[in-house]
Amino acid sequence: MDGNGRWAQMRGWPRLVGHRKGAERVKQIVRAAPDLGINWLTLYAFSTENWKRSTEEVLGLMAIFARYIQREADAIAGDGVRMRFIGDRSRLDPKLQRLMSGIEAKTAHLTRLNLTVAINYGGRDEILRAIRALACEAAEGRFDPRALTEAAFTARLDTGALPDPDLVIRTSGETRTSNFLPWQAAYSEYEFTETLWPDFQIEELRAILTRFSNRERRFGAVLS
């Protein structure tokens, strides 16, 4: 979800206005996702690199996350959405951490949509934390390093319970992946759109999904 800041600045408004508009867009897309055939949706809300922004913007974003969880909790559960978070939570405000685990527990039985929000997420950081966990288990004799398989490693990532993404969409014209699910997206399809996130409409998502469904995915094999 990129382009909130530019969306606001183009109008001469503070960047946080763009983030609030972006959160409204999230609500719409989440509500529409199941009917578009999406069962797993992962949103990149805050990266491990986003701490470099001004204190005002960082705190404003954190407040938006907390408010979203508080205000949307009932609607999310009512819509059958299971909400999860990935990323390193330890650096987040304890109150936000409690809201996050609260809604995860409240929606753990729901299946209509699996919504994952990446907060303080970075792919390299996630991989390092998984390796650190494995190394500690090995050092304590609870894990045989020779038994390390792709499955054993994948299970220790934050996304352990999630399938790999089929499609990754980035808005706002940037054609980088910026540390988003680098391990998991190795075979994902990518779509880049010039649209800024606050302007990203359901119609555009529908068009992207149609294009995606016409792509041939070979996963390295040769299809006859």
Of 19 and 84, nearer to ligand IPE (C-beta) is 19
Binding residues for Mg ion restricted to 2-41, rule: CB under 5 A: 2
Match 């054993």 to its residue by tokens: 152
Q: Quick check: 120 binds ligand IPE (CB under 6 A)?
A: no
Tell me the CA distances in angstroms from 162 to 23, 102, 159, one per residue in order. Answer: 23, 19, 5
Q: Quick check: 5 binds ligand IPE (CB under 6 A)?
A: yes
DSSP label of 200: -
Helices of type H across the chain: 4-9, 15-32, 55-78, 94-106, 123-139, 150-155, 202-213
Question: How many amino acids of this chain bind ligand IPE (CB under 6 A)?
Answer: 14
CB of 43 to Mg ion, least distance (A): 14
| Contacting residues for 217 by C-beta, under 8 A, at least 6 apart | 166, 187, 189
- Partner interacting with residue 50 (select from Mg ion, ligand IPE, none; CB below 5-8 Å by kind): ligand IPE
Among the listed ranges 4-12, 98-106, 110-118, 184-192, the one in contact with ligand IPE (CB under 6 A) is 4-12
Phi, psi of 113 (to 5 degrees): -145, 135
Find how far residue 34's CA is from the centre of its chain. Answer: 17
Of 27 and 106, nearer to ligand IPE (C-beta) is 27
Binding residues for ligand IPE restricted to 133-192, rule: CB under 6 A: 172
- What is the spatial distance between Cα 123 and Cα 179, in angstroms, rounded to a whole number? 5
Binding residues for ligand IPE restricted to 27-86, rule: CB under 6 A: 45-46, 50, 61
- What is the spatial distance between Cα 101 and Cα 94, in angstroms, rounded to a whole number? 11
Binding residues for ligand IPE restricted to 8-27, rule: CB under 6 A: 19, 22
User: Which residues participate in catalysis according to the annotation?
Assistant: 2, 50
Shortest-Cβ-distance residue relative to ligand IPE: 5
- What is the spatial distance between Cα 199 and Cα 116, in angstroms, rounded to a whole number? 21
Among the listed ranges 1-9, 22-30, 86-94, 130-138, the one in contact with Mg ion (CB under 5 A) is 1-9
Give the residue, chosen from 6, 27, 31, 106, that forms a contact with ligand IPE under the rule CB under 6 A.
6
Residues in the site for ligand IPE, rule: CB under 6 A?
Answer: 1-6, 19, 22, 45-46, 50, 61, 172, 197
